[in-house]
Structure 1
Amino acid sequence: MDFTMGTAAAELRDELRALVSEHVPPDYLGAFTDDPADLETAQKFCRLLAERGLLCLAWPQEYGGRDASVWEQTVVREEMWAGHEPRGAQYMGVNWVGPTIMRHGTAAQRSRHLPPIARGEVIWCQGFSEPDAGSDLASLRTAARRDGDGWLVSGQKVWTSYATMAQWCFLLARTSRGERRQDGLTIFLVPMDDPAIEVRPIDCLMGPHHLNEVFFNDLRVTEADVLGEVDQGWKVVQEVLAFERVGIARYARCEMLLQAAPGVLGDAWDDLPAELRVRWARMLTHCRRARLLAYRVIALQNEGRVRPGDAAAYRIAVTRLDQESAEVLMDIAALTPREGEETSRFRSEVQDHWRYSHASTVASGSIDIQRVLLARALLEEKS
C-alpha cells in the first residue's frame, strides 16, 4: 500500500520535518505542560508555519491559505502529530473552527476570525460537554435566554481543553425547546476574556490545560455572535464533530513511536520475546488501517459530504490503536537500556503517549457513542 501521495507530498514532508528539527527542542512533548516555554515554542512555531503559508495550507487564499489540496493539508496534519503537535492548540482553529466559520459564518465573522487563525495568533476552545451532557451532548443545560436584542447565557461546561489559554470559545447553548433535544440549540462565538466567564482548571494525569470547568454567569451575547441560524446549531455540531475527529491524526504519532523502537533497542531488539514483536507488528498494521479510514473521511469531506458513520469508524479504530499501541510500547520501553539520551527521550515519549491514551476513550466523543453512530449508519444503509 502506497501512502506517499507523490513527489510534492514527499517534498512537503521533508520541509516540515526540517522545520520541526530546527525550531522544536528534541525533548518537546507538547504545549500543555507545566513549563510555559512549551506553549511559547508552539506559538512561535505556528507563526513560522503561517509566515511560510503552511499553517492553513488548504484554506482559500482570501482567508490566508494557499488553495492547496486537502491531501497536502493531511500531510501537515500527520507530520505535526508525529512531532508531538508543535502547533499546540492551533489544530482546533485550523481543522474545524475556521472551516466551520467559512461555511456558516457571516461576512463580518469571517473577516474577524479567519485572519487571526491563519496567522497562528489565536487559540480556540470548545464549549460543548457538560457535567450531565457529555456523550449525550444534546441534553445540555447551558441556556441562553432572550434579553432585549440579545441573550444572557448561564450554565457550566466541563472537560474544556485549553480554556485557560484560549481567546475565543465555540459555545453551544440552548435557546429554545423543541420536539427533540437536538432542536433549539444555537452556536455562539464568544471571547474568553469576558468577566462573565470563569475558568477553573481540573488536575489530571495528562497535565495542565487539558481539562477545565467553564462557568457562564449571565454572559451577554448578540445576533452578531450567532454562528449559523438560531435554534439550528445541531446541524453544525454534527459537521464539526466529523471534522474534529478525523483532524486528530493520532495514528501518525503511534507509527512514529513504533517505527523508532527497533533503532532505540539496537541489537537488543532481536532479544525481545517473539510474542512482543508480533504485537508490535500488529500495531503497525493497525496504524495503516486507521490511516486508510481517515483518508476515506477526508475524501468524502473533499466532495462536500460529511457522514457521521465514517467519522465514527475512524474514531473507533484510532482510539483502539492509541490504547493497544501504548501497552505494546510500554512493554518495549521497559526493556530498553537505562542509559543514553535517545533511550531516555524514547521512554519519555512513550510515557506521554500512554498517559494520553487513557483519555482517548472519551475525548471527542466516547467510543461507546461512536459505536452507536456507526451501527445506526450501517442500519440506515441496509434499510
Structure 2
Amino acid sequence: MDFEMGARADELRGRLRELIGAELPAEFPGAFTDDPADLAAAQRFCRTLAERDLLCLSWPAEFGGAGASVWEQTVVREEMWAHHEPRGAQYMGVNWVGPIIMRHGTTEQQRRHLPPIAAGEVIWCQGFSEPEAGSDLASLRTYARRDGDGWLINGQKIWTSYATMAHWCFLLARTTRVGEGGVQRKQQGLSIFLVPMDNPAITVRPIRTMMGPHHLNEVFFDDLRVTDADVLGEVDAGWSIVGDVMAFERVGIARYARCERLLAAAPDALGERWDTLPAELVARWMRMLTHCRRARLMAYRVVAMQAGGQVSPGDAAAYRIAVTRLDQESAEVLAEIAAEAPDNSWFRADVDDHWRYSQAATVSSGSIEMQRILLSRALLAVTR
C-alpha cells in the first residue's frame, strides 16, 4: 500500500528534519522536564517554525497561516511527533484550539486569539475533566452563573495538561442546570469560555507523575469573572463544539509516527545484537510496524474527511482506539528490544520515554472504553 505524499511532502520533511537538527539541542528531552531551559528551547523552536510559515502551515493567511493543504500540515504533525514533539504544548493550539475558534468564534475572538497561536507565542490548556466527570464529561459541576453583564465561574478541573505554563484555558462549564430553562439532558446547558490563566481567581496545583511536571494539574476557579465576549459559540450550546474538539484533538496526535520511527531504528541501534534476538520478538516487532501503517491510514481517512468539511466522531474514535493500542503494544516490544541496546544509547533513552508516556495513552484525551462506545454508537446508527 502506498503511503507516499509526493515530492513536495518529501521536501517538506527534509526541511523540518534539518530545522530540528539545527535548532534543538542534541538529544532534546522534550519541553516537559524540571529544567526550564527545555521549555525555553521548545518555545524558541515554535517561533522559528512560525517565522518560516511552518507552525500553522494549513491555516488561512488571514489568520497567520500559509494556506497550505491539510496534507502538508499532516507532514508537520508527523515529523514533530516522530522527533519528541519539539513544539511542546503548542500542538494543542495549532491542532484544535485554533481551528475550533475559526469555526465557532466571533470575528473579534479570531483576531484576538489566532495570530498569537500562529506566531508560537501562546500556550493553551483544556479545562474539561473534573474529579467526578472524566469519561462522563457532561456530568461536570463547574458552574457559571449570570452576574450583571458577565459571569462568575466556580469549580474545579483535574488532569489539566500544561496548566502551569498555559496562557489561556479552553474552559467548559455549566451555564444552565438540568431541569431549568428548558434544559432536559446533561449534554445541554453547557458553554465554552476562553479565559486567561493569569487571572488571580484561578489556582493551579501540579500533580506529580512518572511523566514529569506540567502534564497533570488541578485547576480551581473561585469567582472567576468573565464576559459574554469570552463565550465561544452560543450560550448553553457548548456540547456540539466539544464533539468537534474531540475529533480534531484525537487525530491531531500522530503517535504512530513516533512508534514507527523507533521501531524502524531498532535494527541499527542494536547492530550485531539484532541477529541474536528471539524470532518471536522479531515477529512482534514486524507486527507493530504493520500496525503503524494501519494507524497512519486511519488517520489519513479522518484528515481527508475534515478537509471536506466533515467531522466523524466514529472514525475519529476508531483511529484513537488503534493508535493508543499501538502506543502501548509497541512500547512493550520496544522495551524488550532496548534491553539489548548499549546502556548509554539514545535509543534506550527514547524508548524509556516512549514507554512512560504510553502508559497513559488509553486514558488521556478520552478513555479507550469511551472511544469504543462512540464507535459502537456510530456503527449502530449506520445499520438502522
Q: What TM-score results when the alignment is normalised by the length of structure 1?
A: 0.98
Q: Could you tell me which amino acid in structure 1 is paired with residue 366 of structure 2? A: G
Matched, 1:182 2:178: no
Aligned to 1:381: 382
Opposite residue 107 of structure 1, the aligned amino acid is: T
Matched, 1:18 2:23: no
Give CA deviations for 1:192-220 in whole Å, capped at 9, x if unaligned: 00000000000101000000000000100
SS of equivalent residue, structure 1 residue 27: coil
CA distance in 2, matches of 1:29, 1:75: 22
Counterpart CA distance in 2 for 1:83 and 1:98 is 23
Q: Tell me the equivalent position of 1:206.
A: 211
Is residue 2:349 matched to residue 1:353? Answer: no
1:1-383 mapped onto 2 (5 Å cutoff): 1-177=1-177, 178-338=183-343, 344-383=345-384
Q: Would the aligned equivalents of 2:342 and 2:348 in 1 still touch at CA under 8 Å? A: no
Helix, strand or coil at the partner of 1:80:
helix
Deviation track 1:119-160 (CA, whole Å, cap 9, x = no partner) reads 000000000000000000000000001111111000000000
CA distance in 2 between partners of 1:29 and 1:249 (Å): 18
CA distance in 2, matches of 1:344, 1:9: 30
**DSSP-derived class of the 1:199 partner:** strand
Task: Give a deviation string over 1:308-343, Cα, whole Å, max 9, x none.
Answer: 0000000000010000000000000111133xxxx5
Task: Give 1:4 shift.
Answer: 1.9
Q: Residues of 2 paired with 1:308 and 1:77: CA distance? A: 20
> Runs of 4+ in structure 1 displaced over 3 angstroms?
none
Per-residue deviation, residues 257-311 of structure 1 (Å, max 9, x unmatched): 0011100111111110000000000000000010011001100001111010000
Offset at 1:24?
1.4
Letter in 1 for 2:306: Q
Question: Unpaired runs of 5+ in structure 1?
Answer: none
**Cα distance in 2, alignment partners of residues 337 and 354 from structure 1:** 17
Q: CA deviation at 1:169?
A: 0.2
Paired residue for 2:180? none
CA drift of 1:249 comes to 0.3
SS of equivalent residue, structure 2 residue 320: helix
User: For the residues of structure 2 that align with 1:314 and 1:380, how far apart are their CA atoms?
Assistant: 18
Q: Deviations over 1:77-105 (max 9, x none)?
A: 00000010000011000000001111111
Secondary structure at the residue paired with 1:285? Answer: helix
Q: CA deviation at 1:29?
A: 2.4
Partner SS for 1:173: strand
Q: Take 2:52 and 2:31, find their aligned partners in 1: how far apart are those partners?
A: 21
Note if contact 2:98-2:117 (Cα within 8 Å) is conserved in structure 1.
yes
Q: Which runs of 5+ in 2 are unaligned?
A: 178-182
Find the aligned partners of 2:26 and 2:322 in 1 and give their Cα distance: 29
Q: Cα RMSD (Å) of the superposition?
A: 0.7
Larger mean Cα displacement after TM superposition, 76-85 or 329-338: 329-338
Quote the Cα distance in structure 1 between the aligned partners of 2:128 and 2:298. Answer: 25
Counterpart CA distance in 1 for 2:114 and 2:94 is 9
Question: Aligned with 2:172: secondary structure?
Answer: strand
CA distance in 1 between counterparts of 2:24 and 2:320 reads: 28
Distance 1:347 1:269 in 2: 14
